[in-house]
Amino acid sequence: MQSELSNATWGSYLTLARVDHSTKHVFIIPGIVLALVLREPTDQLLLRILLGGFSVVMIASSNYVINEWLDREFDAHHPTKSKRASVRHDLDPRLIYIEYAVLAGLGLICAVALGPLFFATTLLFLLSGLLYNVKPFRLKDRTYVDVISESVNNPIRLVLGWAMIDPTSLPPSSLMFCYWMGGAFLMGAKRLSEYRDIAAGPGLGVLHLYRRAFRGYSEERLLISCFTYANLASFFLAVFLIKYKAEYILTFPFFALLFSLYLWLSFRKNSVAQRPERLFRSRWLMFTIVAIIAVFGITSRVDVPWLQKLSIPHYIDFLNSGW
């Protein structure tokens, strides 16, 4: 196989950082917005957001570098990932680890300037990439654990966005658990889509060579896990919405629609669910997200008194109701 590899260029190493996947960092935006709405913003907001965003991109890119390098033998069995630079080119391991160290170092240096909370969360972001990809841990090879461990990056991103605005507190725990289970739903749907496409094409044997965790999955198990993650995310979301402003509950139907649309997308061949960085290409998904943002913005400014009753126990007196 080594003789089939082409010579690497500087561009080959740069593609490992997957800067084109930066759209995934949209998950830090709710943390920024909610901190602006619920907390007192700190000084130099624009500078903190720019510096924090750069730090997040650098840490994520360092995780991508180590991910792609350590996955090269497995990605060779994937229909599309087999085209990655780490699979097709003869890369120098020393340059790979230098690239990883430089990206991680830049991210951590910027994180220090944003305070202890942002720095600690950035370290956790970096550590999650190592636990997920590097032996003896390599959590991505363990059925169900792979989804739970990868999706922990969602609440990490939430905290990073929040800490850019308020470096003195953490986001509500209900929201962090919602983000975690919501991320698990996204990752579960991604695996469901991969399972369906590869099983129907190259076959289950290839799927198992590509990722060991798939040996414990079936289409049925993946679908049930997605349903479970969606239910848990909805539960924690409802707790947050009612607890912090009753009017926020009006966004819930749109969140339910969002889960349904994403699951629908995962059943389509070559689905964008397999490539979250391309989700913006789904117009229905983008429309639903815009609707959530609009309703959230409106309900942040408008009070609906009768909605307050949702958090107060109430019983209908049948005997005195006139029936």
CA distances from 77 to 124, 132, 205, 266 (A): 31, 20, 10, 21
At residue 128's C-alpha, the angle toward residues 205 and 146, to 5°, is 30
Calculate the dihedral angle through the C-alpha atoms of 125, 127, 133, 134, rounding to the nearest 10 degrees. Answer: 170
User: What pLDDT does 1 receive?
Assistant: 39
Q: Which amino acid is at 216?
A: G
User: What pLDDT does 4 receive?
Assistant: 67
Give the whole-angstrom CA distance, residue 134 versus residue 152: 17
The domain segmentation of the chain, as residue ranges, is: 1-170, 172-323
Q: Which of 233, 228, 147 is nearest to 195 (CA)?
A: 147
Specify whether the CB–CB gap between 295 and 258 falls below 8 A: no
Identify the band that residue 245 occupies on the pLDDT scale cut at 50, 70 and 90.
confident
pLDDT one-digit tens code per residue, 73-92: 998 888 888 888 888 888 88
Specify whether the CB–CB gap between 195 and 254 falls below 8 A: no
Task: Report whether pLDDT(127) > 90.
Answer: yes
Give the whole-angstrom CA distance, residue 70 versus residue 134: 7
Least confident of 129-138, 224-233, 270-279, 284-293: 270-279
CATH code for residues 1-170: 1.10.357.140
User: What pLDDT does 213 receive?
Assistant: 95
User: What pLDDT does 243 receive?
Assistant: 87
User: What pLDDT does 95 receive?
Assistant: 92
Give 134: exposed, middle or buried? Use CB within 10 Å, 0-12, 13-18, 19+. Answer: middle
DSSP 138: -
Specify whether the CB–CB gap between 165 and 48 falls below 8 A: yes
Name the percent of the chain lying above pLDDT 90: 61
pLDDT one-digit tens code per residue, 188-223: 999 999 999 999 988 999 999 999 999 999 999 999
pLDDT one-digit tens code per residue, 15-67: 888 887 777 788 899 999 999 988 888 788 899 999 999 999 999 999 999 99
Specify whether the CB–CB gap between 223 and 266 falls below 8 A: no
User: What pLDDT does 37 receive?
Assistant: 87
pLDDT one-digit tens code per residue, 250-290: 999 999 999 999 999 999 888 888 887 677 777 888 898 88
The set of residues, in sequence order, having a beta carbon less than 8 Å from that of 125 and lying 6+ positions away, is 56, 59, 60, 63, 153, 156, 157, 160
Task: Report whether pLDDT(321) > 70.
Answer: no
DSSP 84: S
Cis upstream peptide for 136 (omega within 30°)? yes
Specify whether the CB–CB gap between 271 and 191 falls below 8 A: no
User: What pLDDT does 2 receive?
Assistant: 42
